[in-house]
Amino acid sequence: MFQTHCYDAWLGGSARDSHFAMWSHLGGTFPAPLFLFLAGISVALITDRLLQKGATASQIGKKVIFRGAEILGLGLLFRLQEYVIAWGWAPWADLLRVDVLNVIGISIMLMGAMCWTVLAFAQPRGIRDPWGLPTLAQDGSPGNAANRPGSPGRTTESRYTALAGMAIVTAAVISALTPLLWTTLRPRFLPWELESYINGVHDLGTPQPWLFPIFPWTGFAFAGLALGFVLTSGFSKRKGGWLFLLTGLLGIVLVYAAKFVDSLHWQLYPVYDYWHTSPAFFATRVGLLLVLVLAAYTWCRWGLGQIGFSPLMQWGKTSLLVYWVHIELVYGRFHILPPHSQTVLGASKGLLTIFLLMLALSLARTTWKNRMAGISSGRRLSRATS
């Protein structure tokens, strides 16, 4: 993310047309799918925790939807801040631009609605696992009780199967509809403020690839949601680390399968745009995300992640704050380098500065938060003992 934004904002002259800039832009297609993919995994973790506490479908759905609404609100607030800072030259339409925070919020709300619907159907009926996967008993062992229809173990496992399956179907449908909703089936009857959330048309008359509409971006969130439910299921507990290896292998298979499909001469869609709307490119990026999951597991299990401190993990604790501030320092009125003015070396120095500043900001934020939590805990303990 830092690399993409810094080089895009600061490279100028011949450096902007170099192979280095080209590869930087290509790498820039990866952070947004990753953010959405991780948002999906996070929703699965939240849902799993609430299920373990005995929460109902409506309680889970409302909590997830409310969290998504909060992020959408922050995205709109971020756009308002950028508009105020750029007062005088920014067009008013920038207030309604569909940015990555907007689509993350919308995606979480949609995932909450899907979980609510699936759990409302699955919970009272104790549906059986349609894939025939063995399940765990309540004590974690594969006992006979878990295999009896309607038993707690069977019912819990079937919920995760249903949730993961529906998430996969939703991601596939979003990917398949994207080329049509960007071209021949555009919902032109909607005002552009709403249509932009479907295909990123904004106020420019045609869909814009630099925006983040539901189609195709929300598909990455549902792909992460599916993986999240697999990782929190009893199946994952039985397979352990082997599941991550299977995940990486599935990612490789998906990449090559997408490449094969794209090489075929026949085309399903009347307008085909591989880099922006094609299901083949969507599948390729999902495959790469699955490979990244294996790489992250390997890093944390046997690599330098064992040391105990990782800048990436630290930024993950304050991701929204870091995103918000670094955008302003790179693109905004308080930019630390003039736009489109630097060589590769100059922009790299700026990237290092942003790296260190955001790490310091993240550490300061978590330190302050932990200190406030300690003070609050001390006060509660004092009142309890007095």
* Residues 38-58: tens digit of each pLDDT: 999 999 999 999 999 999 999
The tokens describing 196, both together, are 């932009």
pLDDT digits (tens, 9 = 90+) for 222-278: 999 999 999 998 877 787 788 999 999 999 999 999 999 998 888 889 998 998 999
pLDDT of residue 229: 95
Question: What does the DSSP 8-state code read for residue 127?
Answer: -
In a domain, 10, yes or no: yes
Looking at the structure of the chain, the number of domains it has is 1
DSSP string, 5-62: HHHHHHB-GGGGGSHHHHHHHHHTTSHHHHHHHHHHHHHHHHHHHHHHTT--HHHHHH
What number is the average pLDDT over the span 150-155?
47
Instruction: Tell me the per-residue pLDDT of 64-100, one tens digit each, with 9 for 90 and over.
Output: 999 999 999 999 998 898 888 777 788 899 999 999 9
pTM of the model: 0.82
Lowest-pLDDT choice from 34-43, 122-131, 320-329, 349-358? 122-131
Is the N-terminal amide bond of 187 cis, ω within 30° of 0? no
Count of Cβ atoms closer than 10 Å to residue 378 Cβ: 10
pLDDT of residue 139: 39
316-346 pLDDT per residue, tens: 778 778 887 888 888 877 788 888 888 989 8
Q: pLDDT for 153-189, tens place per residue?
A: 455 678 899 999 999 999 999 999 999 999 999 999 9
Structure tokens that stand for 191 in this block: 């005002």
Distant-in-sequence, close-in-space partners of 157: CB < 8 Å, separation ≥ 6: 129, 133, 135, 136, 146, 233, 234, 235
Range of the structural domain that residue 116 is part of? 2-239
Residue 331: per-residue pLDDT = 83
User: Is 248 part of a structural domain of the chain?
Assistant: no
43 vs 115: CA distance, rounded Å: 9
The answer to the question of residue 9 being in a domain is yes
The angle, 0 to 180 degrees and rounded to 10, between the axes of the packed helices 279-302 and 214-231 is 40
pLDDT: which is higher, 17 or 27 = 17
Q: What percent of the chain has pLDDT over 90?
A: 49
Tell me what the pLDDT averaged over the chain comes to.
Answer: 85
- C-alpha–C-alpha distance, residues 213 and 181, integer Å: 11
Burial status of residue 235 (CB atoms within 10 A of its CB: 0-12, 13-18, 19 or more): buried
Question: Side chain identity at 362, as an amino acid letter?
Answer: S
* Confidence at residue 165, expressed as pLDDT on a 0 to 100 scale: 95
Contact 197, 213 (CB under 8 A): yes
Q: What pLDDT does residue 135 have?
A: 40
CB atoms within 10 A of CB 373: 10
Whose tokens are 């925006």? That residue is 211
Lowest mean pLDDT among 147-151, 245-249, 292-296, 303-307: 147-151
319 inside domain: no
What DSSP string describes 196-259? HHHH--TTSSS--TTS--HHHHHHHHHHHHHHHHHHTSHHHHHHTHHHHHHHHHHHHHHHHHHH
Q: Residue 141: what pLDDT?
A: 42
Question: For residue 316, is it within any domain?
Answer: no
Residue 268 C-beta-side C-alpha neighbours within 13 Å = 13
Indicate whether 384 belongs to any domain. Answer: no
Largest CA distance in the chain: 79
pLDDT given for residue 306 in this prediction: 59
Whether 81 is covered by a domain: the verdict is yes
In a domain, 342, yes or no: no
Written as six digits, the tokens of 17 are 């047309």
Phi/psi of residue 11, each to 5°? -65, 135
